[in-house]
């Protein structure tokens, strides 16, 4: 549904996006992560036919972003960093205007506008001028506009920015519901916890390059290591840590707990429990330690920085 091959954008001597290649299947949420200036917004703008790429190709719903821009815009909903809201308009006037821009029958866009305003808890503000909206309300209205023409693809730049927790949850729930309807999403965000909840795939971009791309579990194994287990006992471990180090890789430990990695947990965990209980130590819990996208992200960036420094020194 979204494809990019070698997508590149230069601004003079500055390369903002460098050979980006992505494929996003229908019904998939791809979260694109990266620091400010990494090239996320420029990538989205090329994929929505706002900017022409210097090199490479991209298609949205099968339409070429350079050769078929009008078809691309008809099949994509876009939330950009700058909303471009017409603040003198009332919300109902604003949505009516865009319904006509999309050449939708009035009975269709009016019903869809009301449904979306209700979904995002904005019906009370239909007759308010947009200049009276709070930042969070403006963000939600921009989402309503992006979804008004019922596009199969949505490209959302920081979709829950400036929202209170309740509003942000409304947006996350809407994304999950739309994904179940086979909508496809590319989301750029700095909210790693939110990306971990929503995304089927993660792409990390730095200096315009994709430096990691995959499902969360695969990225954890590649950059953080095998899943970690935590053992907690009733009492003290005493010398048990040294004893168990012959079985597993001990990461850290305390008086009554330890964390370890095991390459074959289904085989190792039962053996470890048998050894611990045979020594008369009562086990309280043995459970996997939650891995976070933040851990993955920081490690990916750290490794890329190290490689960059190495290449610089070699140069």
Residue 261: predicted pLDDT: 87
Q: Round to whole Å and give the CA distance between 25 and 261.
A: 33
CB count within 10 Å of CB 272 equals 20
> For 187-234, what is each residue's pLDDT tens digit?
999 999 999 999 999 999 999 999 999 999 899 989 988 778 999 999
DSSP per-residue codes, 117-163: HHHTT-GGGTTSBGGGS-HHHHHHHHHHHHHTT--SEEEEESTTTT-
pLDDT band at 129 (very low <50, low <70, confident <90, very high): very high
Q: Round to whole Å and give the CA distance between 4 and 8.
A: 10
Residue 99: predicted pLDDT: 94
Q: Is the pTM of this model over 0.75?
A: yes
Does pLDDT of 112 surpass 80? yes
Output the CA–CA distances (angstroms, integers) from residue 134 to 52, 87, 114, 125, 188, in the order listed.
Answer: 33, 11, 19, 11, 22
Q: Round to whole Å and give the CA distance between 148 and 194.
A: 24
Return the percentage of the chain with pLDDT > 70, whole number: 99
Task: Give the residue with greater pLDDT, 55 vs 182.
Answer: 55
Does pLDDT of 278 surpass 70? yes
Residue 315: predicted pLDDT: 58
Alpha helix positions (H), the chain: 40-47, 69-75, 91-101, 106-119, 135-147, 165-180, 192-198, 216-223, 240-244, 265-278, 293-314
Q: Round to whole Å and give the CA distance between 129 and 137.
A: 12
Q: What is the mean pLDDT of residues 151-173?
A: 88
Q: State the DSSP code for 248.
A: S
Q: Round to whole Å and give the CA distance between 127 and 130.
A: 9
Q: Based on the number of CB atoms within 10 Å of its own CB, is 82 exposed (0-12), middle (13-18) or buried (19 or more)?
A: exposed
pLDDT band at 122 (very low <50, low <70, confident <90, very high): very high
For residues 251 and 295, is the Cβ–Cβ distance under 8 A?
no
Joined together, the tokens standing for residue 292 give 């976070």
Does pLDDT of 162 surpass 90? no
Residue 314: predicted pLDDT: 65
Which residue has tokens 């929202």? 163
For residues 153 and 48, is the Cβ–Cβ distance under 8 A?
no
For residues 158 and 31, is the Cβ–Cβ distance under 8 A?
no
Q: What is the mean pLDDT of residues 286-300?
A: 91
Does pLDDT of 236 surpass 90? no
Q: What is the mean pLDDT of residues 31-38?
A: 92
> For 62-84, what is each residue's pLDDT tens digit?
999 999 999 999 999 998 877 77
Q: How far is CA 84 from the centre of its chain?
A: 23
Residue 233: predicted pLDDT: 93
Domains, the chain, in order of start with CATH, read: 2-215 (3.40.50.300), 225-288 (3.30.70)
Q: Based on the number of CB atoms within 10 Å of its own CB, is 290 exposed (0-12), middle (13-18) or buried (19 or more)?
A: exposed
């Amino acid at each position: 549904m979204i494809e990019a091959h070698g997508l590149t954008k230069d601004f003079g001597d500055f390369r903002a996006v460098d050979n980006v290649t992505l494929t996003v299947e229908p019904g998939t949420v791809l979260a694109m992560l990266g620091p400010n200036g990494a090239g996320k917004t420029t990538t989205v703008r090329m994929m929505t036919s706002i900017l022409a790429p210097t090199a490479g190709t991209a298609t949205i719903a099968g339409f070429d972003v350079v050769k078929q821009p009008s078809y691309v815009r008809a099949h994509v909903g876009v939330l950009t960093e700058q909303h471009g809201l017409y603040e003198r308009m009332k919300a109902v006037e604003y949505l009516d205007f865009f319904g006509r821009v999309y050449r939708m029958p009035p009975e269709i866009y009016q019903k869809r506008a009301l449904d979306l305003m209700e979904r995002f808890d904005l019906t009370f503000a239909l007759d308010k001028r947009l200049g009276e909206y709070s930042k969070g309300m403006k963000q939600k209205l921009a989402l309503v506009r992006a979804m008004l023409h019922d596009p199969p693809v949505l490209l959302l730049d920081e979709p829950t920015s400036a929202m209170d927790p309740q509003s942000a949850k409304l947006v996350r729930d809407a994304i999950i519901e739309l994904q179940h309807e086979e909508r496809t999403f590319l989301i750029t965000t700095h909210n790693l916890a939110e990306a971990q909840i929503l995304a089927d795939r993660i792409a990390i971009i730095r200096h315009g390059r994709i430096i990691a791309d995959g499902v969360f579990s695969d990225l954890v194994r590649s950059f953080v290591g095998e899943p970690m287990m935590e053992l907690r006992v009733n009492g003290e471990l005493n010398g048990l840590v040294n004893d168990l180090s012959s079985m597993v890789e001990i990461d850290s430990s305390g008086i009554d707990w330890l964390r370890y990695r095991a390459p074959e947990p289904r085989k190792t965990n039962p053996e470890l429990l048998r050894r611990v209980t045979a020594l008369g130590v009562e086990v309280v819990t043995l459970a996997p330690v939650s891995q976070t996208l933040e851990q993955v992200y920081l490690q990916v960036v750290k490794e890329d920085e190290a490689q960059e420094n190495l290449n610089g020194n070699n140069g």
